């Protein structure tokens, strides 16, 4: 078994010593990686079977389903890698170019971050997605899979490395942490000088552990307490469809809405429509005023600060867009919020003041997604403000450097 | 006295509740702030006098000089604010705009970060510089001055707030921490939910304390162990002037060079030229081979890992550009490095492989500076890779958000 510290050293040394790869070599290697996954389908399924057996009594059916692979899912992972090969190369973009009066030519060029570490949980597909995105963006990656998925991740990484090898590219571009105890996570969080960016992908506990304990740069992802505000000038039928979609189309994801704020002026009309639509499909947890108007569960103390990830929506009545914005400022995780209104002034007030990664007018919060935004893929959705906000695509896995050409200039 | 936690709450609430300011209002307020500094020259000088008296026996002459204000320095601070007023507004830039097939219009717009905290040491001018840059970029700032400069900073902030008041803009845009004990620094470092970005400006100790202890996002600034590599294909006269300039024009700043790497093939010619030029002006600390060729101090164990900030340069002989790049990878702080060569291949190898904020060909490292890069100003020089790298101007004090307009789209 390789220790985590050995893996850190190898990764750093690969990032330093590997020649910058050109786009064609990277794309060819990605196709080899995809093919190698397919070729190793049997090995990967066997490893996954053992993972599933070991985990069977420890985790619930939802978690087991996340962990479970079949031929179709492996083919989808390979297809995901091929899609990444098709995206344009983020490295080497000239972000700006100036020639100064003294003759210095200053170029600002996008370059890989270096070593990117990803700590995740039990979805084996994260292994290949993250590896492909890091590789295409010129980074060396260090993957730390959750314990339950370790054998699956291990088989996947083995296949990916074989794809790299076939392309005569260093296998050290893709690394899997072999120690699945908490120690290794802590070691990654404090590996200053070895890791340029740490991305936690998973639940609230994992993310907050990284934010609290990491001394390496971290991008927070994912937690979404998303709001929809139905304004008094809303088209109520539109509002109903949007709230329904944002809540129920896929409740387990971070861009699903958790809270609906309803303007008092249209509450008597809208709330019964919502209650009817959600009947036997989703639970409404209403504030006192809501419970006075429709039959709903009284909202508890924490219901406006909870990412339910379930068929549950907290509903509250507000006086106006101002109160809606104030509520969002207090309770949001700054992921995605939407206003439903035909009043341009209310929409402008909302978009100017709401401080979230994605602020919507008259559409569902479910669109906060790399694919939907046209980035072609995503490494997660950043809910912080530094470096990347919202869906992180390939460009967000790059930094830049200034390259300055002179002919003897001194200052 | 206001507690730090009160200040954090006021700042956050100002960031949330203040209407986004338009460019003209911000510029007018900046001019009022500058004028108010001039009007309060006497108060500021009186406060500074007390600071100097209190510090006289505790800090050395260099530090006292940094702390000292006079009419001219205050006028320069005011002029600095007026310069910021002239720069273009970073807020509201449309960074990208796409219309998706489903009709969604997705705009990526630059917006203020929110609350920016700056922890600094004894230069009173940082107070007005940082306040002006944060204000122009739409941010609320929290300033924490070093203890020695507190009364000066306090008088400056009082004047700045008066300028804001005259423009009928909330004084809470500019805040000074009143508790100068270490507790307040620690409180800022862990004020998650209140501070969007923390920038330490000062020595290595301060910066590493922030990186180690902060749970809020931090940008590392400043430490510069900058290298110049004199290649075998260098124009030696050019090389001499550049090394001299990079070392001796202002040794106390972070973009000054600390290490010179000399190609073995030209060492016999170049080293005597360097020794002659530095004679009685700067000390050379040479590796074994250098000491065999010219009269120089034998370099100690740490001399290739030290930011001297003084008239001292560590000098080492290397075989080629490859060895130079490897040495830099191991010892650099990733600030600024330069190659002196007439060989384009060597230059390209160097610029592609050296992983620093600014990589130069045939010029001095001293150009790494917001003004020299055409940014008009700077908040510091980032030596990390997330968000901002190299000189941070107004744009780097913004983040972005996505604003998406639809007409009922669901997913």
Kindly report, residue by residue over B220-233, the tens digit of the pLDDT: 887 899 999 999 99
Q: Check whether B40 has a pLDDT greater than 90.
A: yes
Contact: A362, B211; criterion CB under 8 Å: no
> What integer pLDDT is reported at residue B122 of this predicted model?
85
Beta strands in B271-409 (DSSP E): 283-286, 297-298, 312-318, 336-340, 358-363, 381-382, 390-391, 398-409
Residue A140's pLDDT band (cuts 50, 70, 90): very high
> What integer pLDDT is reported at residue B230 of this predicted model?
98
Query: How far B96 CA lies from chain A's nearest CA (Å)?
Result: 11
Residue B255's pLDDT band (cuts 50, 70, 90): very high
Contact: B403, A359; criterion CB under 8 Å: yes
Q: Check whether B136 has a pLDDT greater than 90.
A: yes
Structure tokens at A257: 């809405």
Contact: B385, A399; criterion CB under 8 Å: yes
Residues A388 and A370: their CA atoms lie apart, in Å, by 12
CB proximity A385 to B under 8 Å: yes
If you measure CA to CA, which chain B residue comes closest to A198? B386
Calculate what percentage of chain A has a pLDDT beyond 70: 100
pTM for the predicted model, two decimal places: 0.92
Q: In degrees rounded to 5, what are phi and psi of residue A99?
A: -110, 120
pLDDT in tens, B289-327: 999 999 999 999 999 999 999 999 999 999 999 999 999
Q: Check whether A221 has a pLDDT greater than 80.
A: yes
Residue B252's pLDDT band (cuts 50, 70, 90): confident
Residues B266 and B280: their CA atoms lie apart, in Å, by 24
Structure tokens at A89: 């190369």
Chain A residues whose beta carbon lies within 8 Å of the beta carbon of residue B345: none
Query: How far B252 CA lies from chain A's nearest CA (Å)?
Result: 15
pLDDT in tens, B3-28: 999 999 999 999 987 778 999 999 99
Helices (H), B4-146: 4-17, 23-39, 41-55, 61-67, 71-86, 125-136
Tell me which long-range contacts A51-56 makes (C-beta under 8 A, separation of at least 24): A51/A148, A51/A149, A51/A150, A51/A151, A51/A152, A54/A148, A55/A122, A55/A148
Residue B256's pLDDT band (cuts 50, 70, 90): very high
From the list A238, A326, A351, the residue facing B408 with the nearest CB is A238
Chain B residues whose beta carbon lies within 8 Å of the beta carbon of residue A98: 373-374
Residues A316 and A295: their CA atoms lie apart, in Å, by 14
pLDDT in tens, A26-45: 999 999 999 999 999 999 99
pLDDT in tens, B346-364: 999 999 999 999 999 999 9
Contact: B106, A373; criterion CB under 8 Å: yes
Q: Check whether A407 has a pLDDT greater than 80.
A: yes
Distance (Å) of CA B359 to CA A80, A361, B176 = 36, 44, 36
Q: Check whether B62 has a pLDDT greater than 80.
A: no
Contact: A409, B372; criterion CB under 8 Å: no
- For residues B228 and B257, the answer to whether their CB atoms sit within 8 Å is yes
Query: How far B57 CA lies from chain A's nearest CA (Å)?
Result: 36
pLDDT in tens, A67-125: 999 999 999 999 999 999 999 999 999 999 999 999 999 999 999 999 999 999 888 99
Q: Which of A62-71, B97-106, B130-139, B275-284 has the lowest mean pLDDT?
A: A62-71
Average pLDDT for residues A259-288, to the nearest whole number?
98
Mean pLDDT of chain A: 95
Contact: A364, B399; criterion CB under 8 Å: no
Residues B85 and B68: their CA atoms lie apart, in Å, by 26
Rg of chain B (C-alpha set): 24
Mean pLDDT of chain B: 95
Q: In degrees rounded to 5, what are phi and psi of residue A353?
A: -100, -30
Residues A3 and A182: their CA atoms lie apart, in Å, by 13
Contact: A241, B410; criterion CB under 8 Å: yes
Contact: A406, B360; criterion CB under 8 Å: yes
Average pLDDT for residues B132-153, to the nearest whole number?
96
Q: Check whether A204 has a pLDDT greater than 90.
A: no
> What integer pLDDT is reported at residue B223 of this predicted model?
85
Interface of A with B in 25-44 (CB under 8 A): none
From the list B235, B357, B363, the residue facing A104 with the nearest CB is B363
Average pLDDT for residues A206-217, to the nearest whole number?
89
Structure tokens at B301: 């164990």
Q: Check whether A363 has a pLDDT greater than 90.
A: yes
> What integer pLDDT is reported at residue B17 of this predicted model?
76
Calculate what percentage of chain B has a pLDDT beyond 70: 100
Average pLDDT for residues A296-303, to the nearest whole number?
96
Contact: A215, B217; criterion CB under 8 Å: no
Q: Cβ atoms within 10 A of the Cβ of B318, count? A: 22
Structure tokens at A290: 């809501």
pLDDT in tens, A45-63: 999 999 999 998 888 887 8
CB proximity B399 to A under 8 Å: yes
> What integer pLDDT is reported at residue A274 of this predicted model?
98
3-state helix, strand, coil in chain B (%, to 5): 45, 20, 35
CB proximity A112 to B under 8 Å: no
Contact: A367, B16; criterion CB under 8 Å: no
CB proximity B107 to A under 8 Å: no
Q: In degrees rounded to 5, what are phi and psi of residue B6?
A: -60, -45
CB proximity A235 to B under 8 Å: yes
Calculate what percentage of chain A has a pLDDT beyond 90: 87
> What integer pLDDT is reported at residue A222 of this predicted model?
76
Distance (Å) of CA A11 to CA A15, A114, A180, A409 = 6, 9, 18, 37
- For residues B234 and B320, the answer to whether their CB atoms sit within 8 Å is no
Query: How far A39 CA lies from chain B's nearest CA (Å)?
Result: 35
From the list B217, B360, B410, the residue facing A384 with the nearest CB is B217
Chain A residues whose beta carbon lies within 8 Å of the beta carbon of residue B386: 113, 196-197, 217, 219, 386-387, 399
Q: Which of B32-41, B52-61, B93-102 has the lowest mean pLDDT?
A: B52-61
Q: Check whether A65 has a pLDDT greater than 90.
A: no
Eight-class DSSP state of A235: -
Contact: A401, B390; criterion CB under 8 Å: yes
């Amino acid at each position: 078994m390789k220790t985590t510290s050995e893996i850190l050293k190898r990764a750093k040394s690969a990032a330093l010593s590997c020649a910058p790869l050109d786009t064609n070599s990277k794309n060819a290697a990605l196709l080899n990686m995809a093919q190698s996954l397919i070729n190793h389908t049997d090995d990967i399924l066997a490893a996954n079977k053992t993972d599933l057996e070991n985990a069977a009594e420890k985790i619930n059916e939802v978690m087991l389903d996340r962990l479970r692979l079949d031929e179709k899912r492996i083919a989808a992972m390979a297809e995901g890698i091929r899609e990444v090969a098709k995206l344009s190369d983020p490295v080497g973009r000239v972000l700006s170019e100036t020639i100064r009066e003294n003759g210095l030519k200053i170029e600002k060029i996008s370059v890989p971050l270096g070593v990117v570490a990803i700590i995740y949980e039990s979805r084996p597909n994260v292994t290949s997605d993250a590896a492909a995105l890091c590789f295409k963006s010129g980074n060396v990656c260090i993957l730390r899979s959750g314990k339950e998925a370790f054998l699956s991740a291990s088989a996947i990484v083995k296949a990916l490395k074989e794809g790299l090898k076939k392309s005569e590219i260093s296998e050290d571009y893709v690394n899997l942490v072999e120690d699945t105890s908490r120690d290794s996570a802590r070691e990654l969080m404090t590996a200053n000088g070895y890791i340029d960016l740490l991305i936690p992908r998973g639940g609230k506990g994992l993310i907050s552990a990284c934010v609290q304990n990491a001394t390496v740069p971290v991008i927070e992802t994912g937690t979404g307490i998303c709001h929809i505000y139905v304004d008094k000038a809303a088209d109520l039928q539109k509002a109903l469809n949007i709230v329904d979609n944002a809540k129920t189309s896929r409740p387990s994801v971070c861009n699903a809405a958790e809270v609906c704020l309803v303007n008092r002026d249209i509450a008597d009309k809208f709330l019964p429509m919502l209650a009817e639509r959600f009947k036997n499909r989703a639970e409404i947890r209403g504030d006192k005023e809501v419970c006075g108007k429709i039959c709903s569960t009284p909202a508890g103390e924490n219901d406006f600060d909870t990412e339910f990830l379930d068929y549950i929506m907290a509903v509250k009545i507000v006086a106006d867009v101002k109160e809606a914005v104030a509520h969002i400022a207090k309770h949001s995780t700054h992921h995605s919020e939407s206003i439903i209104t035909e009043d341009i002034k209310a929409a402008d007030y909302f978009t100017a003041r709401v401080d979230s990664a994605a602020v919507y007018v008259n559409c569902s919060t479910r669109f906060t997604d790399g694919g939907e935004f046209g980035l072609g893929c995503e490494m997660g959705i950043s809910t912080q403000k530094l470096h990347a906000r919202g869906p992180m695509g390939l460009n967000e896995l790059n930094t830049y450097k200034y390259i300055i050409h002179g002919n003897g200039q001194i200052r």
